[in-house]
Amino acid sequence: MLAPHLGLTSSEKHRYRGRFAPSPTGPLHFGSLVAAVASYLDAKQRNGVWLVRMEDLDTPRCVPGAAERILHTLDAFGLHSDEPVIYQSLRTAAYQKAFEQLRTAGYVYPCGCTRREIADSALHGIDGPVYPGTCRNGITGGREARAWRVRTGHPPSPIEFDDALQGHISQRLESEIGDFVIRRADGLFAYQLAVVVDDAAQRISHVVRGADLLGSTPRQIYLQRLLGLATPAYLHLPVVLNAQGEKLSKQTLAQAVEANAATLFDVLLFLRQQPPAGLRHGTIEMLLAWAANNWHPEKLSNCRQFSVST
């Protein structure tokens, strides 16, 4: 029988729903494949649903054709989204609605500061300059609104959560991040707002992603609270570094992965899953099936980064 709320049975309501949310700024590289595979295995091991969401909101950074290439590569690895892929570029109305909700409640304000001014006046935090609050009580000097920021510190206590791999995390947004941008000077909604709106809209129960986003999670939890949304469970994977100790990314010229069993085998080794040696020469299907049955994320506990020589 269907429960009255949302037409969901209670087992569906509590069902694991995970996701992989690539930004199509280049081809799928080893680092993003690690996040794709780990999020998939974590979902499948718990009979969950696994979704792909294309984070193509930052249009100036998107590369034409990259989204299709990423989806094609995921398919070649047997990583198929259980529901249609959603595209952030088509979801502006949902972000606008959340933005209006925050604005009506008085949680956001326009900011007239330039990047330069902030860099010159601010303390440096874990994720760039900590915004000093210059426009909190109104833009001064007849300047124009550029970005929109959310007021941190409501209530003025640190944001805390327990990450499945990284342990207890506590961050005081006011002093470590400052009031942060949710609508950029170019009019685009910021990642922090879009990800929160989409994780809620897709009823994501578990977020598995790279530890490079660990410092963003308290901002996301804060927005969830202001918007009255549920907070998923978080698991932040070690970040893949190249031989120079840099995070694999488009900027560090990370190569596109080759879709074969050997690559998947290397991903499982990176994830400390010890696949049987014979499977290196098996098929992708065999490896994925072995990995879903033998997924032990705790083998990665407390690791924030590892190097691979790609």
Rounded CA gap, 12 and 48, in Å? 10
Smallest distance from ligand GLU to CB 250, Å: 10
Cβ closer to ligand GLU: 33 or 135?
33
| Contacts to ligand GLU by CB under 6 A | 21-23, 55, 195, 209, 213
Beta strands in the chain (DSSP E): 17-20, 49-54, 86-87, 108-111, 123-125, 128-130, 147-150, 159-163, 167-171, 180-183, 206-210, 233-237, 239-241, 305-307
Residue 225 neighbours by CB under 8 Å, 6+ apart = 231
Smallest distance from ligand GLU to CB 249, Å: 9
Cβ closer to ligand GLU: 249 or 265?
249
Rounded CA gap, 247 and 250, in Å? 10
Residue in the block written with tokens 């690539």: 22
Smallest distance from ligand GLU to CB 2, Å: 31
Cβ closer to ligand GLU: 69 or 154?
69
Smallest distance from ligand GLU to CB 23, Å: 4
The catalytic residue positions are 250
DSSP state of 97: H
Cβ closer to ligand GLU: 55 or 266?
55
Tokens of 307: 């190097």
